[in-house]
Amino acid sequence: MPDGPDKPGPQPGTQSGSQIIERKLATILSADVAEFSRLMNEDEEQTLRAFRGHKKIFESLVLTHHGRVFNTAGDAILAEFSSAVEAVRCATDVQSALRTRNDKFPPSRQVRFRIGINLGDVMIQGQDLLGDGVNVAARLQTAAEPGGICISGSVHDQIRNKLSLAFHSLGERSYKNIPQPVRTFSIAEAEGGVPLPSVKPPSAWKSRVVWLVAGVVIVAGVGFAAYAIHQHGKSESAHTIAANAPSVTVPNPSIATLPAPVNPAVEKPAAPQPSANATSSSPKAAPAAADAKPVANSKAAAAASAPAKPPSATAHAGRFDGTYRGQVCYGQTPKLPKHCYQAEGTVLGNKLSGHWNMPGEREVTMHIEGDVQPSGDVTILMHSENQGGTRVATINLTGMIHDGSLVAAGEFERGRPASIDWRFKP
C-alpha cells in the first residue's frame, strides 16, 4: 500500500502549536535626558534642536562601538551590545562628546543624558528587545546623575579588569517593579582620569551615627516610659489620699472673730476649746487660731489634692517650644550657585514641623519634620513636593537648639550641602 502524503511537520518558530520565544544574553544601554520636561516648557525649539544634535552623535558612537539602537521614544534611547566592555566605552565616549557640546549653553539649558547599563537575558521581538534585562538598565539610568553613568554588578564583573575606570559602589539597591535588589555602581572617572558626575555612597561614619542615634532614642524612650509609669502611679496615689482626706478649713489671719476649728479625727486638742458662741473679746483667741495644728494638716491636704506635676522629662522636652525663623541655604556646586531664603518651623515638645512654598516656585512645597532631644540635639528631614504630591528632593540634617538658636547642616541625597540658621521668634 503506497505511503500517503507526508504530514506537515512543525513550522519554523513554533512548538506544539505555540510560538517559540527567542532569548539571548545582551548588554543593554538605556539613556534619557534629565529634566527634559522642564527644558521643553522653557524653550521647546532650542531644546529640540540641541536634542537632535546630541542624538546624532549618540547613535554614531553606538555604531562605532559595534552596537545597535533598537528603540527610541521621546527623549529615550535603547541600544544593545554583544560586549559589556564596548557598551561602557560607548557610554563614557557619549558623555565626553556631549559635555563638549553642552559647554555652549548655560548650565540651566544643557541637555544632559543619564545612562544605565545592564548585562542580562532578553527576549527578541522583531527588531525590539524586551524583558528584565532591559528593565533593569532603564532603572539604573534613573539612579545616575545628569551626565553620569550607573552600571549593574553583572556589567561591573565583566569590565573591572579590562577598563581603567573609577567606581563608587552603591551597594544593593531596590528599584520599582524589579523583584530582586540590584548591585549598583556609579562610574566616577572615565579612562584617562576624566571625572564624571557620580552618586556617592553614604560615608561609614554617617551610618554609625544613624545607628548610634537610633540606639540612644530607643534607650531614652524605654527609660522615659518607665519613668512616666512610675510618676503616673505616684499621681494616682496622691489623688486617692486627697480624696479620702477630711475637709479642713484654713483660717484667714486677717479675721480673728472666730477660733480655728479643730478636727478631732486629725488631732485631739491639747486644751479645752471655746464654745461655738465665743467671740474675739478674749485676747488669746486669735493666737490660738494662729497656732492651731490643723493648719499644717490643711496644707498637706491641699498639696495632696493639687494636680500631679508632669514628669520632669516632659517639661524638659518642652523647654525649646516656640517658632524659629531664619535662613535656609543650599551650598554652591560646580553647576549651581549658593542659594538662601527665609523660612520657619515650630517646635512643640520633642517634634519640629513646618512647611512653606519655595520662593519663585509656587507649585513646589517644602516640608520639614524633626526630632528634638532633651539635650537640644535635633535630627531633621526636609523634602519638597510638587502639586501632584510627588517628592522632588530630600535633605537630611543634624544640629542643635541652644540659647534661642536652631542651627543644623546636612546635604541633599545627591550631595549638595544645605544648612539652617534660625532664631527663636517671640
Model pLDDT, residue 94: 97
In a shared domain, residues 223 and 271: yes
Whether the Cβ atoms of residue 89 and residue 65 lie closer than 8 Å to each other: yes
In a shared domain, residues 289 and 344: no
Binned at pLDDT 50, 70 and 90, residue 29 comes out as very high
In a shared domain, residues 217 and 169: no
In a shared domain, residues 27 and 154: yes
Sole residue written with cell 504530514: 7
Domain end marker among 161, 177, 201: 201
Q: What is the residue type of 410?
A: G
Higher-pLDDT residue of 9 and 388 is 388
CATH of the domain at 372: 2.40.128
Q: Domain of residue 354: give its range.
A: 318-425
How many CA atoms within 13 Å lie on the side-chain side of 17? 0
| Rounded CA separation 418/216 (Å) | 25
Pairing of strands 149-152, 113-125: parallel
Report if residue 181 sits inside a domain.
yes
Report if residue 6 sits inside a domain.
no
pLDDT of 134 higher than 50: yes
The angle subtended at Cα 85 by Cα 74 and Cα 192, nearest 5°, is: 95
Q: Which residues 6+ apart lie within 8 Å of 271 measured at CB?
A: none
Q: Which residues 6+ apart lie within 8 Å of 254 measured at CB?
A: none
CATH of the domain at 71: 3.30.70.1230
Q: Give backbone dihedrals phi and psi of 420, rounded to 5 degrees, phi first.
A: -125, 135
DSSP bridge pairs for 195: 189
| Rounded CA separation 395/372 (Å) | 17
Report if residue 31 sits inside a domain.
yes
Average pLDDT over residues 254-262: 47
| Rounded CA separation 405/417 (Å) | 20
Model pLDDT, residue 336: 82
In a shared domain, residues 407 and 325: yes
| Rounded CA separation 299/248 (Å) | 9
In a shared domain, residues 48 and 197: yes
| Rounded CA separation 144/314 (Å) | 45
Report if residue 232 sits inside a domain.
yes
Average pLDDT over residues 96-117: 95
In a shared domain, residues 172 and 307: no
Higher-pLDDT residue of 73 and 312 is 73
Report if residue 361 sits inside a domain.
yes
User: How much of the chain is in helix, strand and coil states, percent to nearest 5?
Assistant: 30, 35, 35
What is the total count of domains within the chain?
3
Model pLDDT, residue 202: 63
In a shared domain, residues 121 and 242: no
Domain end marker among 287, 311, 335: 311
For residue range 376-407, list pLDDT tens digits in order.
888 999 988 877 677 778 898 998 898 889 98
In a shared domain, residues 171 and 253: no
Binned at pLDDT 50, 70 and 90, residue 182 comes out as very high
In a shared domain, residues 45 and 182: yes
Alpha helices in 261-420 (DSSP H): 285-291, 294-305, 312-317
For residue range 74-96, list pLDDT tens digits in order.
999 999 999 999 999 999 999 99
Report if residue 224 sits inside a domain.
yes
- Cα 328 to chain centroid distance, Å, stands at 17
- Cα 289 to chain centroid distance, Å, stands at 68
In a shared domain, residues 88 and 196: yes
Average pLDDT over residues 338-350: 90
Model pLDDT, residue 242: 53
Domain end marker among 180, 201, 222: 201
In a shared domain, residues 259 and 274: yes
Whether the Cβ atoms of residue 238 and residue 245 lie closer than 8 Å to each other: no
Q: Which residues 6+ apart lie within 8 Å of 38 measured at CB?
A: none
